Amino acid sequence: MKYDIRIYGDPVLRVKSVPVGKIDEDIQQLAEDMIVTLRDNNGAGLAAQQIGRTEGICIIDISRDMTGDDSEYDGIEMPIIMLNPKIVDKAGAQEGQEGCLSFPDVYVNVERAAEITVQYMDMSGSDRELKVRGIVARAVQHEADHLRGILLVDHMSPVQKVAVAGKLKRMKKKALKK
C-alpha cells in the first residue's frame, strides 16, 4: 500500500520514533509499504514519520544515477531498511544540496559528516554496523534526524530560511487545513 507523504507543518514530523522491538508482520508490511512509497516519489530516503507512523524505521534507497560514482556504495545493496539506527561515529565534513520529500521544491546546502558509522537492526532482527560515506552517509544522517523529529528546516541558516520562507509558509498552511 502506498502512503501519502506528510508535509512540513504536520505535527507527526516532530514526533520522536519509538524503537522497534521485534520484527512482526506489521513491521514487515510497513517496510514494504515504505519502499513502494519512496520509489513512487523518486526519493532517496524515507522515515516512518513522513508517512504518519512513529516506529523507528527508515529506508535508504540511493540509485546509481544520483551519485555518478559507484565508489560511494562500497558494495552496499539498496534499499537499506534500518530499524532503530544510531550513528555512533562521524568523521570529516561534506557540504551539499539536500532535499526532502516533506519539503517539496526546497533544496538547501547542508553540512554533514563525510563519513559515518551507523548501528541498526536489520529485518531479520540482527544487529548490523555499516560504515558509509558521501551521498549515502548524507542520506543516513538525514533519515536518522527524521526519526528524532529533526527536519531539514532545522539545518537552515537564517539566510536560507528567509529565502524559502514563502514556500514554508504555504506548506504549513496546507498541513493545518488537513
Q: Which is nearer to Zn ion, 23 or 33 (CB)?
A: 33
Distance CA 2, CA 8 (A): 19
Minimum distance of Zn ion from residue 124's CB (angstroms): 26
In the residue annotation, 95 being an active-site residue is answered as no
CB 140 within 8 A of CB 60: yes
Distance CA 134, CA 91 (A): 11
Kindly name the residue from 55, 72, 98, 143 that is annotated as catalytic: 143
Minimum distance of Zn ion from residue 31's CB (angstroms): 17
Task: Name residue 147's amino acid.
Answer: L
C-alpha distance from residue 65 to each of 44, 47, 102, 107, 177 (Å): 11, 22, 22, 18, 37
Q: Which residue is nearest to Zn ion (CB)?
A: 100
Q: Which is nearer to Zn ion, 20 or 153 (CB)?
A: 153
Minimum distance of Zn ion from residue 23's CB (angstroms): 24
Smallest Cα–Cα separation from 98: which of 33, 59, 145, 165?
A: 145
CB 83 within 8 A of CB 53: no
Q: Which is nearer to Zn ion, 80 or 100 (CB)?
A: 100
Q: Would you tell me which residues interact with Zn ion (CB under 5 A)?
A: 100
Active-site residues, by number, are: 143
